[in-house]
Amino acid sequence: MARAAPYDRAKTLDSAMSLFWCKGYHATSIKDLEGTLAMKPGSIYAAFQSKEAFYLLALERYFETFREQFRAQISEASSPLQGLADHLRAYALLSPEDGTRQACMIVKSFVETRNTEPAIAEQSKAYFSAMRSEISAAFDAAQEQGEIATDVDTSRLAHLFQAYVSALRFELHLGSPQDEIEALAEDMAGAIEALRVK
């Protein structure tokens, strides 16, 4: 009998991430995973030990993917501050079919599991904090390059920026009208650009 082709771990995690992100931890069954991944339950458990362990790996995949995208966007921009502003505008440019037009998986994970799955909730908090540190580092770079005043609290700005992102993603998740999302993103990006030292 021919052996089944070995599974691609990266593709499997990407598929599981999309499923978990859409349905949530509790609503995703092993049967759902079996159908999406074309894997038998025994193979899923052999590869990932448990549903919780699998979810944590998918959540890690989500965090690493979006952290790298954020870093690339900042590094490729004409300046750190411009990169931050353009990051906000980018949410309004997502196509209607884009699967990322929904609330952040990290935020959704924390809200869903804070009272039921402490390991997932704590890891979600850790990733949320780590993303804020990434944002703060971008504001630090803008400050070092003289884009924003030296007396500005970059940690506080990072907190505000993260709130902007969460609000934008929630509007996308709600399916708010495109013109409203574009206007909101532009207002937020403009507020970031207004920090630039004249």
Question: Please, which pLDDT band fits residue 61 given cuts at 50, 70 and 90?
Answer: very high
As a whole number of angstroms, the distance between CA 32 and CA 16 comes to: 10
- pLDDT tens track for 137-178: 999 999 999 999 999 999 999 999 999 999 999 999 999 999
Distances (CA, A) of 197 to 69, 73, 101: 27, 22, 33
Q: Both tokens of residue 35?
A: 């159908």
pLDDT value at residue 5: 45
At the topology level, CATH places domain 62-193 in Tetracycline Repressor; domain 2 (1.10.357)
pLDDT value at residue 100: 87
- pLDDT tens track for 102-143: 999 999 999 999 999 999 999 999 999 999 999 999 999 999
Residue type (1 letter), 13? L
Question: Please, which pLDDT band fits residue 3 given cuts at 50, 70 and 90?
Answer: very low
The model's pTM is 0.90
pLDDT value at residue 172: 95
As a whole number of angstroms, the distance between CA 85 and CA 69 comes to: 15
As a whole number of angstroms, the distance between CA 113 and CA 97 comes to: 28
pLDDT value at residue 6: 55
Over its C-alpha atoms, the chain yields an Rg (Å, rounded) of 19
User: What average pLDDT does the segment 30-52 reach?
Assistant: 87
